[in-house]
A and B are shown apart, each in its own frame.
Chain A
Amino acid sequence: MFETVGEVLNNISNCVTQWTSRILAGLMGGMTAVILLAIVSRYVIKVSVPWAEELARYLMVWTTFLAGSLGLKKGIHVGISFVVRKIPPRICRWVSLISGLSLLFFFIVVIVEGFCFSMFVSRQLSPALRISMLWVYSALPTGGILFALFVIEFIVADIKRLTEKREIAGNAQDGFVLMEKE
Chain B
Amino acid sequence: MTVLIITVFAIVALSGIPIAFCMGIVSLVSLLAMGKAFFLKLLAQKMVTGIDKFPLMAIPLFILAGNIMNRGELTNHLITFANFLVGRFRGGLAHVNIVTSIFFAGITGVAVADSSILGSIFVPAMEKEGYDTDVSAAVTASSSIIGPIMPPSVPFVLYGCTVGVSIGGLFLAGMIPGILLGLSLMLVSYFISKKRNYPVRDIHLSLRELALSFKNAAFALIMPILILGGILSGVFTPTEAAAVAVLYALIISLFVLRTLKISDLPSILVESAITASIVLMLISTANIFGTILTTQQIPQRVAHFLLSITSNPWVMLLLANIFLLIAGMFMAESPNIILLAPILAPIVTSLGIHPLHFGFVAVLNLTIGLITPPLGACLFILCGISNLSLEQLTKAILPFLAAEIAILFICTYLPAIPMFLPKLFGFG
**Which A residues have a C-beta under 8 Å from some C-beta of B?**
21-22, 24-25, 27-29, 31-32, 35-36, 38-39, 43, 53, 56-58, 60-61, 63-68, 70-72, 74, 76-84, 95-96, 98-99, 102-103, 105-106, 109-110, 113-114, 116-118, 120, 136-137, 139-140, 176-182
In the bound assembly, the distance between CA atoms of A136 and B270 in angstroms comes to 20
- Shortest A152–chain B CB gap in Å is 15
Cβ contacts A to B, 21 pairs, < 8 Å: A25-B265, A28-B60, A31-B61, A32-B61, A57-B53, A60-B60, A67-B274, A70-B277, A78-B19, A78-B331, A80-B13, A83-B14, A106-B25, A109-B40, A113-B41, A114-B44, A114-B47, A137-B48, A178-B16, A182-B275, A182-B278
- Shortest A120–chain B CB gap in Å is 7
Find out whether the CB atom of A36 lies under 8 angstroms from the CB atom of B243.
Answer: yes
Q: Would A177 and B52 be within 8 Å (CB), given that A64-B277, A80-B330 are in contact?
A: no
- Shortest B286–chain A CB gap in Å is 13
Find out whether the CB atom of B243 lies under 8 angstroms from the CB atom of A32.
Answer: yes
Q: Would A63 and B60 be within 8 Å (CB), given that A28-B269, A84-B16, A110-B44 are in contact?
A: yes
In the bound assembly, the distance between CA atoms of A70 and B273 in angstroms comes to 10
Find out whether the CB atom of B281 lies under 8 angstroms from the CB atom of A77.
Answer: yes
Tell me which of A39, A57, A78, A84 contacts B240 (CB under 8 A).
A39
The secondary structure that dominates the B interface is helix
**Which B residues have a C-beta under 8 Å from some C-beta of A?**
12-22, 24-25, 28, 40-41, 43-45, 47-48, 51-54, 56-57, 60-61, 64, 112, 235-236, 239-240, 243-244, 246-247, 265-267, 269-270, 272-278, 280-282, 284, 330-332, 334-335, 374-375, 377, 380-381
Q: Would A67 and B52 be within 8 Å (CB), given that A24-B269, A28-B269, A56-B57 are in contact?
A: no
Find out whether the CB atom of B276 lies under 8 angstroms from the CB atom of A67.
Answer: yes
Enumerate chain B residues within 8 angstroms of A24, measured Cβ to Cβ: 269-270, 273-274
In the bound assembly, the distance between CA atoms of A16 and B259 in angstroms comes to 31
Q: Would A140 and B18 be within 8 Å (CB), given that A24-B270, A78-B335 are in contact?
A: no
Most buried by A among B56, B274, B276: B274
Find out whether the CB atom of A113 lies under 8 angstroms from the CB atom of B44.
Answer: yes
Find out whether the CB atom of B15 lies under 8 angstroms from the CB atom of A84.
Answer: yes
Enumerate chain B residues within 8 angstroms of A116, measured Cβ to Cβ: 41, 44
- With A68-B284, A78-B332 given, name 13 new contacts (CB 8 A): A21-B270, A25-B270, A57-B53, A70-B274, A71-B278, A78-B19, A81-B16, A82-B375, A99-B16, A110-B43, A114-B47, A140-B48, A177-B16
Find out whether the CB atom of B21 lies under 8 angstroms from the CB atom of A106.
Answer: yes
- Shortest B284–chain A CB gap in Å is 6
Find out whether the CB atom of A71 lies under 8 angstroms from the CB atom of B247.
Answer: no
Find out whether the CB atom of B273 lies under 8 angstroms from the CB atom of A27.
Answer: yes
Enumerate chain B residues within 8 angstroms of A43, measured Cβ to Cβ: 235
Find out whether the CB atom of B273 lies under 8 angstroms from the CB atom of A67.
Answer: yes
- Shortest B265–chain A CB gap in Å is 7
Find out whether the CB atom of A106 lies under 8 angstroms from the CB atom of B244.
Answer: no
In the bound assembly, the distance between CA atoms of A84 and B15 in angstroms comes to 6
- Shortest B13–chain A CB gap in Å is 5
Q: Would A136 and B14 be within 8 Å (CB), given that A28-B60, A35-B243, A117-B45 are in contact?
A: no
Find out whether the CB atom of A103 lies under 8 angstroms from the CB atom of B25.
Answer: yes
- Shortest B200–chain A CB gap in Å is 36
In the bound assembly, the distance between CA atoms of A114 and B41 in angstroms comes to 8
Find out whether the CB atom of A137 lies under 8 angstroms from the CB atom of B240.
Answer: no
Q: Would A60 and B244 be within 8 Å (CB), given that A79-B13, A80-B19, A99-B17 are in contact?
A: no
Of chain B, the residue at the smallest CB distance from A17 is: B270
The 3 A-B pairs of least Cβ separation, nearest first, read: A177-B16, A77-B18, A67-B277
